[in-house]
Amino acid sequence: MRDVGCPEEDLFSFLSSKRREDLGYRNILSSMCTPPHPVAARAHAMFLETNLGDPGLFPGTAALEDLLVRRLGTLMHLPDAGGYATSGGTESNIQALRIAKRLKQAESPNVVIPASSHFSFTKACDILGLEMRTVPLDAEFRMDTGAVDALVDENTVALVGVVGTTEYGMVDPISRLSEIALDRNVFLHVDAAFGGMVVPFLDRPIPFDFRLPGVSSVSVDPHKMGMSTIPAGCLLTRSPEWFSCLNVDTPYLTVKRECTLAGTRPGASVAAAVAVLEYLGMDGMRAVVAGCMENSRRLIEGMETLGYQRAVTPDVNVATFSCERAPAGWRVSTTRNGHMRIVCMPHVTRDVIEQFLVDMSDTNA
């Protein structure tokens, strides 16, 4: 540290110079994050110093967390779902598998997970000492449910399905997984970190949530398509009681037990998440999602006109192509199979897509 602090103006000119090194979202086509909605930014600033790790000191903020859980539970067709605001999909996946492991005592526990799952499951299995059994995908990059039965055994503590896969934007056959979960009496966790804020707002929603009787828990991230500030995730469970198996005693806090993974937890991003849901409502979210889906279709059509075939027709707003090179100045990502991947987030507007297509055709002219 400096012996003597530096003047505020110097400090902020240093910070600005660092901030200018960051890329602007305009040309970022690879991210599942997006600039927060203006009401999210405003709410975040209002709740900057709140700490949900000691909720008795911030009862208003804690009530907003309850409201977030109720709103998202209702969206997932279970208004009384248990839940809390996590720091995102990674924490939600770790906590869901932790609950599953506690609920079923197995000698050498394993989890059955699609090959498309997010790398947070690798972290979760490592931390929790779980064997990860990988289910292959079908030709459209969805979990091949025909291969699940053979992988489940008496040591299987959880089955996982993904709604909106990170790489290809596919929705696994959760209805079928729900049947298998009931048949084999296994906990079913649905990772809807991305798709949880997309699929409910589609013209024809694909069933994936608590309406399916075998679904035990759902993860959904307001900091992705929910346009909240980072870090805003949410883990929901069919039974609110399940969280008690994670409780530790917290004698000197305002609550005497806590089940969360983080201790000190931001209230700001939770207020921001609630703000977006309240401000937009179902209609507003449907409009945002319709725009992102329409832009994905336009991008796919435009790329195919240029001769770059889609890898698959996605269920949500993630488009992938047989194409190796993006024009200079654009950030896209590449899947493990070598496909170009573009996430049509709200900041990826129609204008951005048209400009990308122009640059794409120039690059390859």
Residue 170 as a binder of ligand 0PR (CB under 6 A): the answer is no
How far, in Å, CA of 235 to CA of 91, rounded? 9
Amino acid at 198: V
Pick out residues in 73-112 that bind ligand 0PR (CB under 6 A): 88-90, 93
Please say which residue, 123 or 325, places its beta carbon nearer to ligand 0PR: 123
2 CB-contact burial (10 Å; exposed 0-12 / middle 13-18 / buried 19+)? exposed
User: Residue 54 or residue 317: which is nearer to ligand 0PR going by CB?
Assistant: 317
193 binds ligand 0PR (CB under 6 A): yes
Near ligand 0PR by CB under 6 A: residue from 25, 32, 46, 102: 32
Beta-bridge mates of residue 320: 341
Report the distance separating Cα 193 and Cα 212, nearest Å. Answer: 18
- Classify each residue of 49-59 as buried b or exposed e, where b means 16 or more C-beta atoms within 10 Å of its C-beta: ebbbbbbeebe
> Residue for token digits 């709140």?
50
At closest approach, how far in Å is the CB of 243 from ligand 0PR?
19
Task: Judge whether 242 and 97 are in contact, CB under 8 Å.
Answer: no
**Is 191 a residue that touches ligand 0PR (CB under 6 A)?**
yes
Task: Assess 225 for contact with ligand 0PR (CB under 6 A).
Answer: no
Residue 318 to residue 299: CA distance in whole angstroms: 10
Site string for ligand 0PR, 112-151 (x = CB under 6 A): ------x-x-------------------------------
Q: Is residue 197 near ligand 0PR by the rule CB under 6 A?
A: no
341 touches ligand 0PR (CB under 6 A): no
**Position 33 contacts ligand 0PR (CB under 6 A):** yes
State which residue, 54 or 191, has the beta carbon closest to ligand 0PR: 191
Q: In what order do the strands lie in the sheet with 333-334?
A: 318-321, 340-343, 333-334
The site for ligand 0PR (CB under 6 A) is made up of 30-33, 88-90, 93, 118, 120, 162, 166, 191, 193-194, 221, 233
